Amino acid sequence: MKLKRVEKTCCVDETGAKLAFHLCCRDCRKELAQEERARLMDVGTAPDGCSAEIITAPARGSLAPFREGYWHEKDGQGEWRQVPYRSGCPGQARDIFDTMTDQATRRGGDAPFTAAQVGAARDYRALHERVQSAGVKCSKAFDVQMGGQGDTDFMTAYMRDTERLAMFHDAIGSVIAKDMKRVSPDKAQRVIITDDILAHVDKRIITVRTLVDDVCIKERALSDVLGAHGWSVTGKNRKALRDALCGALGRMQGI
């Protein structure tokens, strides 16, 4: 088989089809491994402005600078001041909400979610992961302290978090965020559902619970949620999911 290099990253056969990684030449595999290592190291490196004591950790994911602040009263008016750091500010792990906010601001729009909604989503994700990791050997999910009582009993902490997670699920609800309804333009308010639609109804219906889990836990963008359930990625469909997600996150606040 005759091999030739393409973009110095992979080999192709005579027909132009890319070869699998294990069939590439040694130089290709070495270069690909170096590129992947450089990408992972770049992702795991703290951004400029963060403390130099934050070590590089590719498994942690990308970080965003986090600066604490406080309101300062001056001449009868309040102003927001950031807490100074001698060796750089701390960092917090970026998630899908940071990505969607960056995308919206780059397009010149506002943040799609409020700080309270994002906080509720992150609390829900952390609680879900803690409950799912219960009983795992060497897990520190329930290694917590209660004032004056020492270590909390495992089952007590587990039942407490399970009840709170059930409260989140009740707040989210099981209503449909995106269904199969189609309105005929010449017959307003009449829903047309064909046999083909009914055949794919289980795949295409998106409930609010599925939407919240896909975005908050699986960290899928709204476009990815639409594509995973067979919907076309349009502005109208994204807006429908965003409105449903904002409503669910609003109900989840304060739990």
Q: Phi/psi zone of residue 179: left (φ > 0), alpha (ψ -120 to 50 degrees), beta?
A: beta
DSSP 3-state of 20: coil
Report d(CA 242, CA 152) in Å as an integer: 39
Q: Phi/psi zone of residue 75: left (φ > 0), alpha (ψ -120 to 50 degrees), beta?
A: left
- Across the range 210-238, mean pLDDT stands at 89
Query: pLDDT tens digit string along 115-139?
Result: 899 999 999 999 999 888 876 655 5
173 or 24: whose pLDDT is higher? 173
Average pLDDT for the chain: 77
On the question of pLDDT at 3 being above 80, the answer is no
- Across the range 127-155, mean pLDDT stands at 66
Q: Tell me, what's the pLDDT at 180? A: 53
Report d(CA 209, CA 128) in Å as an integer: 13
Q: Tell me, what's the pLDDT at 31? A: 79
First to last CA, the chain: 63
On the question of pLDDT at 216 being above 90, the answer is yes
Q: Tell me, what's the pLDDT at 65? A: 82
Percent residues over pLDDT 90 in the chain: 20
Least confident of 4-13, 14-23, 46-55, 234-243: 4-13
DSSP assignment letter at 151: E
- Across the range 229-254, mean pLDDT stands at 89
DSSP assignment letter at 139: -
Q: Tell me, what's the pLDDT at 248? A: 92
